[in-house]
Amino acid sequence: MKKRLALCMTCLLMGIGTAMATVNIIPKPTKVTEREGSFALPKDLTIGYNHASLAPAAAYLQEILTRSTELLVRSKAGKGRIQLTLILPDETNEDYELLSDKKGVLITAHSYRGIINGIATLRQLLPVEVEQDKMMRNPEKNGKGSDGRWEVPAVSIQDSPNFHWRGLMLDPVRHFFSVEETKRLLDQMALYKLNKFHWHLSDNEGFRMEVKAYPELTGDTVAWRRFNGHDRECLNRAAKENNPAMLIPWKYFKEVEGFGELYGGYYTQDEIRDVVDYAAVRGIDIIPEIDMPGHNGAACYCYRWLSCTQNGREPLCLGRQSTIDFAEKVYDEVFKLFPYEYVSIGGDEVNRRRWSECEECKKRIEAEGLKDVSELQAWFTKHMERYFNAHGRRILGWDEILEGGLSKTATVHWWRGDHPDVAQKSTSMGNEVVLCPFTFLYFDYAQDDNTLRKIYDGDIVPVDLTPAQLKLIKGMQANIWCERIPTEARMQWMVFPRALALAEKAWTPRTDQHWDDFLPRLQSHLTRLEAMGIQYRPLQTKRP
């Protein structure tokens, strides 16, 4: 009795309601055992690691704690009060275990990514202020003097993801996002164990990746463009809703001689390397997409010989060898910049009718014994697939790549929610699938349409797959198309808090997903999102 009272007194003094802090982790871990007590981070804190490969993970955690707390935080090979330990190394295993008690925290995993997952959980065990720059919290005192106790509740967590593909796709073509804005999204993804960033780098409205072999792709009138209908729509909404997040940012305008003010931007190869390195530290793979053969207005505009009509209208002409050479040379540079297994060729929404009117495309169809223009696209995709494979890469494409025949090594992004048989069809042929049906996972769709609840409760994984087919489901991602998303603030409004539902759908087994359990955890995370400066959409908001 006395002991309980003493505990309650301690709680009162510490300003918390119970002896055991409530652990609210998203995505929900496999097993959490809460224990009494906590680890109070000491003024002089060392993060130790047992394997040289973990040095960047330790430095990453050190940076988070140095930015947010007044503590003196170091990281070093060897022992620390926060210990990162790699055992039985296995790159494919993302599991981790986190043990904390009054003496310290131990994160154990089989891979760098597992350790990073453990760090994400540790962040969520710490007070929300860990997500904040101390200088922002208390600027008049140079960040000093306002910190509470930095405590990690005593827990034992064993955790393992259900899917290895847990992603977000961003479209910086329709509206541009700077390197800094992109990095902030990567930071937010890392906190919720989202580990694939699909970067849509080319489209009709612009080409966003510097390609040394084809410098015109990022020329002033290709990576930049005149105002279009979507820009005007955004501005109308900005005015109508009095919403600055819908304004087109001035920082992306540039005066181009003979054209006036144009909108756009691109990433230099150095910037891309920087973003790739930044993501890698956070355990995130970047999947680049250079969309071919459709969605190529920008490339066809500056290199007219790429299109059937030679007047700048897409798609790429597949009858001409020069187009195939172009595709290979562009991807050569992609392969050098992105060190990951998967590269996306896009392949969606191709206006194939143009090929049926092009003499050179017709010749190709005849010479290759193809039946029609769908098979022409499949011929191109298979050619590029061999090229990817020869460079040690695997090809990914939107689900239109199924049409006209698909080879075994291609992975399919199921996006057309109104084609419910895509996962069934692809997996029955032995092809892997990443799920991103627009009916659930298009985050550019209004939050009142693809609602948080719809995403959380939905059967995103089709229920009619056999166990063998289920093994071919790699995971899921949400897509953020940015025609109507002109700013980072608007992007955050569309993405959060839905990204937390996605994270749990992809990490936690379906049988452990319960809305009534998720919602209170989510609510407890809203202050964390605020601390991160995320302009998320409050739960009760009505349109827009």
Q: Could you say which residues in the range 383-402 bind ligand ACM, by CB under 6 A?
A: 398
In the annotation, is 203 catalytic?
yes
* CA 97 – CA 454 distance, rounded (Å): 31
Options 24-32, 130-138, 297-305, 316-324: segment touching Zn ion (CB under 5 A): 316-324
Contact status: 421 vs ligand ACM (CB under 6 A) = no
Nearest CB to ligand ACM, comparing residues 101 and 348: 348
| Binding partner of 358, given ligand ACM, Zn ion, none, CB within 5-8 angstroms per partner class | Zn ion
Query: If contact means CB under 5 to 8 A according to the sort of partner, which of ligand ACM, Zn ion, none does residue 290 touch?
Result: none
Give yes or no: 147 in active site: no
- For residue 419, indicate whether it is catalytic: no
The residue annotated as part of the active site, out of 95, 203, 289, 399, is 203
Round to whole Å and give the CA distance between 151 and 134. 16
Residue 348 interacting partner from ligand ACM, Zn ion, none (CB closer than 5 to 8 Å by kind): ligand ACM
As measured in angstroms, the least distance from the Cβ of 398 to ligand ACM is: 4
Q: How far is the CB of 308 from Zn ion (least distance, A)?
A: 3
Looking at 21, 361, 384, 480, which residue binds Zn ion (CB under 5 A)? 361
Interaction with ligand ACM in 208-237: which residues (CB under 6 A)?
none
Active-site annotation holder among 91, 255, 349, 517: 349
* Residue 217 or 373 with smaller CB distance to Zn ion: 373
Stretch of 15-23, 146-154, 158-166, 311-319 lying at the interface with Zn ion (CB under 5 A): 311-319
Pick from 503, 535, 452: nearest CA to 121: 503
**Closest CB 173 distance from Zn ion, rounded Å:** 24
State yes or no: residue 358 binds Zn ion (CB under 5 A): yes
Q: Verify binding: residue 360, Zn ion, rule CB under 5 A.
A: yes
| 165 vs 415 by CB, closer to ligand ACM | 415
Between 127 and 297, CB nearer to Zn ion: 297
The DSSP code sequence of 478-500 is: EEE--TT--SHHHHHHHHTTHHH
d(CA 87, CA 90): 9
Contact 472, 431 (CB under 8 A): yes
Whole-number minimum distance, CB 348 to ligand ACM, in Å?
4
Q: Can you tell me which of 54, 272, 298, 308 binds Zn ion, judged by CB under 5 A?
A: 308
Q: Which residues pair with 83 in a beta bridge?
A: 48, 106
Shortest separation between residue 306's beta carbon and Zn ion, angstroms: 10
Nearer to ligand ACM, 155 or 395 (CB): 395
Helix%, strand%, coil% for the chain, nearest 5:
40, 20, 40
We find the least distance from the C-beta atom of residue 432 to ligand ACM, in angstroms, to be: 17
Question: Under a CB-based contact definition with an 8 Å cutoff, are residues 183 and 514 in contact?
Answer: no
The residue from 90, 277, 349, 464 that contacts ligand ACM (CB under 6 A) is 349
**Bond into 161 cis (ω within 30):** no
- What are the E-state strand segments in 160-313? 165-170, 196-200, 202-203, 206-207, 224-225, 253-256, 260-264, 285-289
Task: Choose which of 147, 332, 348, 530 interacts with ligand ACM (CB under 6 A).
Answer: 348
Q: Which stretch binds Zn ion (CB under 5 A): 244-252, 300-308, 343-351, 470-478?
A: 300-308
Task: Name residue, tokens 């053969």.
Answer: 293
Residue 209 gets which letter from DSSP?
B
Q: Which does 308 bind (CB under 5 to 8 A by kind): Zn ion, ligand ACM, none?
A: Zn ion
CB 146 within 8 A of CB 132: no
> Among 415, 445, 456, 536, which residue interacts with ligand ACM (rule: CB under 6 A)?
415
Q: State which residue, 80 or 437, has the beta carbon closest to ligand ACM.
A: 437
Name residue, tokens 């959490």.
Answer: 32
Q: Is the peptide bond before 293 cis (omega within 30 degrees of 0)?
A: yes
Closest-CB residue for ligand ACM? 348
Minimum distance, C-beta of residue 347 to Zn ion, in the bound complex (Å)? 17
Q: CB-wise, 349 or 368, nearer to ligand ACM? A: 349
Q: What amino acid occupies position 280?
A: A
Residues touching ligand ACM, count (CB under 6 A): 4
**Strands, sheet with 31-40, edge to edge from the N-terminal-most edge strand:** 31-40, 151-159, 96-101, 104-109, 82-86, 44-49, 72-77
Pick 348 or 375: Cβ nearer ligand ACM = 348
Are 27 and 508 within 8 A, CB to CB?
Answer: yes
Beta carbons within 10 angstroms of residue 317's beta carbon: 23
Q: Nearest to residue 264, comparing CAs of 212, 208, 209? A: 208
Smallest gap, in angstroms, from Cβ of residue 316 to Zn ion?
8
Residue with Cβ nearer ligand ACM (94 or 314): 314
CA of 208: how far to CAs of 181, 257, 306, 332, in Å?
Answer: 15, 21, 18, 16
Of the candidates 491, 487, 499, 505, the one whose C-alpha atom is nearest the C-alpha of residue 528 is 499
Return the residue matching tokens 């959980």. Answer: 121
Per residue, what are the HEC states of 142-154? CCCCCCCCCEEEE
Question: For residue 250, what are its two tokens?
Answer: 């001035």
Q: Does 36 bind ligand ACM (CB under 6 A)?
A: no
Shortest reach from residue 15's CB to ligand ACM, in Å: 48
Q: Which two tokens stand for residue 166?
A: 């847990």
* Residue from 295, 399, 413, 432 carrying the catalytic annotation: 295
Q: Which residue, 244, 132, 20, is CA-closest to 529? A: 132
Which residue numbers are catalytic?
A: 203, 295, 349
By CB under 5 A, name the binding residues for Zn ion: 308, 317, 319, 358, 360-361
Which residues contact ligand ACM (rule: CB under 6 A)?
A: 348-349, 398, 415
